[in-house]
Chain A
Amino acid sequence: MSTHPTTPSQTVGPYLHIGLPWPDGPFAVAEGTPGAVWLRGAVYDGAGAPVTDALVETWQADPQGRFDHPDDPRGAKGTPGFRGFGRCPTDATGSYAILTLKPGPVPGPTGEQAPHVDVSVFARGMLHRVVTRLYFPEEEIANAQDPVLNSIEDPRARATLIAHREEGGYRLDIHLQGEDETVFFDV
């Protein structure tokens, strides 16, 4: 079917900061929104050093598990003031922080998916983004039934996708390589 071959990916390079960050990028919801939580973490390379020139992007459903997008077969329906999308460059400590609302469960082909956030990481030294998912630690039952989490056999690897509760929200560190390497997805 596909007749037109796609355009190759290239790295964002070291100078992404002039073009990609937005002043409101880290705010998928405005500060002060009831129920808003911070998703924070740091990105590390294979030597355990913080990746200080990465860009982290998040995409997720709203608290009702809905997407304000025409391809959601249930109809485009979002939460006013909620963008669903966050974008944050990492700082001198490799850290990112995105203010958002916790997503609701999202239907999948074989039942419900646990609440989750799709995460992309772009950086110098990466010729293509890597994609992971953030899941929530208090959703033990839903996580145990999630088709994506259950597709990962090694419990240690699966644990790299579960955020930790912390003051004001959640924390998920991302390890590009090494012993604690995060599970990345072929999307």
Chain B
Amino acid sequence: MSDTSHEGLHVPGYVRDHDTHPSLDFPFYKSTCLRHPKRPLTLLPHMLTEITAPVLGEDRLGALDHDLTRQHEEEPQGQRIIVHGQVRDSDGAPVPHTLVEIWQANAGGRYRHTGDNWPAPLDPNFTGVGRVITDERGHYRFVTIRPGAYPWKNHQNAWRPAHIHFSLFGRAFTQRLVTQMYFPDDPLFFQDPMWQSVPDEKARERMLARFDYDATEPEWALAYRWDIVLRGREQTPFESEEEVLEDDE
């Protein structure tokens, strides 16, 4: 071991995954114009603050946060669905005990939000907000209704494909991810800047849930599976050095 490894505190960082993500500057999505930094980003080496994150537990959850169809007196309008999957890192390791938060429009494509007032009805029985913690194998599961598409003003006759907003913490600050889950065979992708902001076609498909017949519940709900992959660890030179030493012994 070198002296510097005694003096300083080396920790394994996380793999950088720039190729996956949209650029902050994406003119087709008009609101990016005044909201993207114009100077190049400064490289931040991963140190203790970046490889840790809040450990959030079951105390963040309400009793019915996993089931968006049971949060009111009656059931919401729309098609009841199960949305489930596994959260893993890019090495394939499950990400257990991590908070997953979702929010979405109702079956008619309207959010329960003061800023959303397009002429589609609100549903008194649907809030559109859910939270779960992944289990020890990184699995999550929600019951909800299939959200509707909705119009917005980005371009002439703009419509968002049906989607569910997801927010994940992972186990490190570097793994924090906010994203959207889409449904297979949606006809609206061709004109959606959010979908198209992801440069790689294959990466776009990773935002797509798949219909999961095996997970459907007969006479009750259709199911979709969506697996989410967060960044994995990279080896530091220090770690490899240690491994070499171990191998030698």
Contact = CB atoms under 8 A, between A and B. Distances in A.
A24 B43 CA distance: 32
Contact of A73 (B11, B21, B43): B11
A124 B33 CA distance: 11
Contacts of A116: 49
Interface residues of A, number: 76
Most buried by A among B178, B231, B232: B178
B85 to A, nearest CB: 10
A133 B50 CA distance: 11
14 contacts: A7-B179, A7-B230, A9-B177, A13-B165, A18-B111, A46-B38, A53-B115, A57-B176, A60-B49, A73-B9, A127-B24, A130-B37, A183-B39, A184-B41
A4 B206 CA distance: 11
A53 B114 CA distance: 12
Interface in A1-27: 1-20, 22
A144 interface: no
B149 interface: no
Interface of A: 1-20, 22, 45-47, 49, 51, 53, 57, 59-61, 67-69, 71-74, 83-85, 106-111, 113, 116, 118, 120, 122-131, 133, 147-148, 151-152, 157, 176-177, 181-187
A125 B32 contact: yes
A176 B38 CA distance: 8
B49 A186 contact: no
B38 A18 contact: no
Contacts of B230: 6-7
A19 B102 contact: yes
Contacts of A124: 31, 35
Contacts, number: 246
B165 A12 contact: yes
Contact of B35 (A46, A111, A133): A46
Contacts of A182: 37
A22 B49 CA distance: 22
A104 to B, nearest CB: 11
Given A110-B8, A113-B49, A176-B37, 10 more contacts: A12-B178, A15-B113, A18-B129, A20-B103, A57-B176, A69-B55, A73-B9, A106-B49, A177-B34, A177-B36
B90 A9 contact: no
A185 B102 contact: no
Task: Point out which of A8, A12, A130 has the most chain B C-beta atoms below 10 A from its C-beta.
Answer: A8
Contacts of B204: 8
A7 B35 contact: no
B189 interface: no
Nearest to A106: B48
Most B-side CB within 10 Å, residue of A3, A9, A176: A9
Interface stretch (B12-20, B71-79, B132-140): B12-20
B143 interface: no
Nearest to B18: A186
B52 A72 contact: yes
A18 B127 contact: yes
Given A7-B230, A20-B103, A120-B176, A148 B44 contact: yes
Given A12-B165, A19-B129, A1 B234 contact: yes
A146 B160 CA distance: 44
A109 B11 CA distance: 8
A20 B48 CA distance: 25
B42 A185 contact: yes
B178 A9 contact: yes
Contacts of B103: 15-16, 18-20
B197 interface: yes
Contacts of B177: 7, 9
